[in-house]
């Protein structure tokens, strides 16, 4: 009834209005939120709260920090208590006079307080623990930057998929209009069967492309929700964009920055330091350990009766004479240090290569974006001209179908170049190890507002 009174267009407007604002009256702000678009910063904040990879590295960092405390307490005081009770045999002698008691019960306790004064192995273990903390801290920084890359790439992938769907939908409409027009001409005897058949084939192919593009949007959104671990609404797209190459535009500056700042290299260096310190820790197992010990002890024998209490202080020196494991552990630690050195060398090479590749990709993306924008304008001009030529009979339907296909391809290439350019900006900073939240904010400013 209402639909017939207002008409289909007005009915759709009313439905869309109620969909966005009618829900607001029922569920408050939730309805308003569902009708607004999310920008990159909002998606990033959602991912940062729930990213399990980053959370794992932070937990490992906390565990490494606790390891430093463990190693430090190895150099601190220790108190131990011993006690027992049972059946004892007692033999006391004082010169020529003695007494013997057997089968008596006795209790004893001993309390020891030990403070190492010189323990070279524990000192080396503390240094190893500190280096491991530095390595894990570098891994936290690396995963923070990787999370930014994952979010940006996931966000741009969704925008790319949605752009392809828009192009596919518009291309389908163009092919459909040509097919219907060709069919109308054919119905009045003015058309060409082959031309109408070709138009129908292009329309059918466009329908298939639209279905594929629509499914790709769903897949891309699911992948982004896998990163954010929550639902993602409509995303804000990119606005006006001026292509920008690497700043500074010298590749050697970026490679030096990467060598100095890439967290993976900081981690590799810290792991090498820990491996070298591990060699020294194992060597110091041969060192003597000097400690001061305070003790309090008591012995009680029920049958005598006898009650002995002592308090004493000692300076103890423990000297290892032989332990075959020490040499084997030193050999093992040396092999681990060599492996860590090779890992560092390989990481340096890989970081340099990744940075150079990211630099060149960003540099190449600028002319690619510019040329693809020009190609879209040229394809649009060709489409408009061919359409007019078809209407006046100077161009064939095959010509029109061809330029429609070319126009769609040009637009797809443009969106690929656009989103790749934005991604390349972020990837260069990520490769150099200087990617921060400020870069997310800067990229977010390029998005359309309102």
Per-residue pLDDT tens digits for 391-434: 888 888 889 999 999 999 999 999 999 999 999 999 999 999 99
Dist CA 95 CA 300 (whole Å): 23
Give pLDDT, residue 309: 85
Residues 6+ apart with CB under 8 A from 322: none
* Phi and psi at residue 16, to the nearest 5°: -65, -35
Across-strand partners of 447? 238
Give pLDDT, residue 69: 93
* Phi and psi at residue 284, to the nearest 5°: -70, -5
HSE toward the beta carbon, residue 405, CA cutoff 13 A:
14
As a whole number of Å, the end-to-end CA separation of the chain is 35
What's the number of domains the chain is made of?
A: 1
pTM of the model: 0.82
In a domain, 431, yes or no: yes
Dist CA 334 CA 340 (whole Å): 10
In a domain, 369, yes or no: yes
Number of H helices, E strands in the chain: 13, 4
Q: Which two tokens stand for residue 138?
A: 């570098």
Q: Which of 75, 72, 69 is nearest to 114 (CA)?
A: 75
* C-alpha of 403 from chain center: 43
Across-strand partners of 296? 111, 311
* C-alpha of 284 from chain center: 39
pLDDT higher than threshold 50 for residue 12: no
Give pLDDT, residue 93: 61
Across-strand partners of 301? 106, 306
Dist CA 281 CA 93 (whole Å): 49
Give pLDDT, residue 299: 78
In a domain, 108, yes or no: no
Indicate the burial class of 93 (C-beta count within 10 angstroms; 0-12, 13-18, 19 or more). Answer: exposed
Cβ atoms of residues 133 and 68 within 8 Å: yes
Question: How many CB atoms are closer than 10 A to CB 94?
Answer: 7
Query: Average pLDDT for residues 3-28, to the nearest whole number?
Result: 38
Compute the CA torsion angle 198, 200, 206, 208 (nearest 10 deg): -110
pLDDT higher than threshold 80 for residue 8: no
Give pLDDT, residue 393: 81
Give pLDDT, residue 191: 66
In a domain, 268, yes or no: yes
Average pLDDT of every residue of the chain? 86
Dist CA 311 CA 69 (whole Å): 31
Q: Which two tokens stand for residue 123?
A: 């000192």
In a domain, 33, yes or no: no
Check residue 306 and report its DSSP letter.
E
Q: Which of 250, 202, 242 is nearest to 369 (CA)?
A: 242
Roughly what angle, to the nearest 10 degrees, separates helices 397-432 and 437-444? 150
* Phi and psi at residue 446, to the nearest 5°: -80, -5
Question: How many CB atoms are closer than 10 A to CB 274?
Answer: 22
In a domain, 293, yes or no: no
Sign of the C-alpha dihedral, residues 178, 179, 182, 188?
negative
Cβ atoms of residues 421 and 246 within 8 Å: no
DSSP three-state, residue 115: strand
DSSP alpha helices (H): ranges in 74-192? 120-187
For residue 97, give the H/E element and its range. strand 97-118
How far CA 225 is from CA of 31, 33, 222, in Å, comes to 20, 17, 5
In a domain, 331, yes or no: yes
272 vs 303 pLDDT, higher one? 272
Dist CA 334 CA 332 (whole Å): 5
For residue 308, give the H/E element and its range. strand 306-318
Give pLDDT, residue 300: 76
Q: Which domain holds residue 160?
A: 38-79+118-288+325-444
Per-residue pLDDT tens digits for 39-93: 999 999 999 999 999 999 999 999 999 999 999 998 899 999 988 887 766 666 6
Dist CA 253 CA 142 (whole Å): 20
Cβ atoms of residues 131 and 56 within 8 Å: no
Per-residue pLDDT tens digits for 190-232: 767 888 888 899 999 999 999 999 999 999 999 999 999 999 9
Per-residue pLDDT tens digits for 141-192: 999 999 999 999 999 999 999 999 999 999 999 999 988 888 887 777 776 7
**CATH number where 135 lies:** 1.20.1600.10
In a domain, 9, yes or no: no
């Amino acid at each position: 009834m209402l639909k017939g009174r207002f008409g289909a267009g007005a009915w759709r407007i009313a439905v869309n209005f109620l969909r966005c604002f009618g829900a607001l009256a029922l569920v408050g702000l939730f309805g308003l939120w569902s009708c607004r678009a999310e920008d990159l910063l909002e998606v990033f904040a959602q991912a940062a709260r729930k990213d399990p990879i980053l959370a794992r590295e932070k937990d490992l960092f906390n565990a490494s920090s606790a390891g430093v405390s463990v190693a430090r307490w190895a150099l601190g005081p220790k108190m131990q208590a011993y006690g027992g009770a049972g059946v004892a045999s007692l033999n006391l002698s004082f010169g020529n006079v003695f007494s013997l008691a057997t089968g008596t019960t006795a209790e004893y306790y001993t309390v020891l307080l030990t403070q190492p004064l010189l323990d070279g192995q524990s000192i080396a273990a503390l240094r190893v623990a500190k280096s491991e903390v530095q390595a894990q801290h570098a891994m936290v920084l690396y995963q923070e930057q990787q999370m930014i890359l994952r979010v940006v790439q996931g966000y741009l992938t969704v925008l790319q998929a949605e752009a392809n769907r828009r192009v596919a939908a518009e291309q389908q409409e163009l092919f459909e209009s040509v097919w219907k027009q060709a069919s109308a001409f054919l119905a009045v005897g003015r058309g060409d069967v082959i031309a109408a058949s070709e138009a129908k084939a292009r329309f059918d192919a466009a329908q298939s492309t639209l279905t594929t593009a629509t499914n790709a949007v769903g897949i891309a959104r699911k992948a982004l929700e896998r990163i954010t671990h929550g639902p993602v609404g409509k995303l804000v797209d990119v606005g006006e964009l001026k292509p920008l190459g690497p700043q500074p535009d010298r590749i050697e500056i970026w490679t030096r920055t990467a060598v100095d700042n890439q967290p993976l290299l900081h981690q590799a260096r810290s792991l090498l330091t820990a491996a070298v310190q591990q060699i020294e820790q194992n060597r110091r197992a041969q060192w003597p350990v000097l400690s001061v010990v305070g003790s309090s002890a008591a012995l009680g024998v029920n049958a005598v009766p006898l009650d002995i209490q002592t308090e004493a202080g000692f300076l103890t020196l423990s000297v290892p004479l032989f332990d075959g494991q020490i040499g084997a552990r030193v050999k093992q630690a040396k092999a681990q240090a060599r492996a860590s050195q090779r890992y560092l060398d390989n990481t340096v090479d890989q970081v340099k290569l990744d940075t150079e590749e990211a630099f060149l990709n960003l540099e190449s993306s600028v002319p690619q974006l510019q040329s693809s924008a020009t190609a879209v304008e040229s394809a649009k001009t060709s489409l408009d001209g061919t359409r007019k030529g078809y209407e006046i009979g100077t161009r064939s339907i095959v010509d029109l179908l061809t330029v429609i296909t070319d126009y769609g391809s040009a637009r797809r290439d443009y969106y690929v170049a656009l989103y790749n350019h934005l991604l390349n900006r972020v990837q260069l900073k990520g490769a150099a190890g200087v990617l921060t939240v400020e870069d997310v904010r800067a990229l977010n400013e390029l998005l359309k507002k309102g």
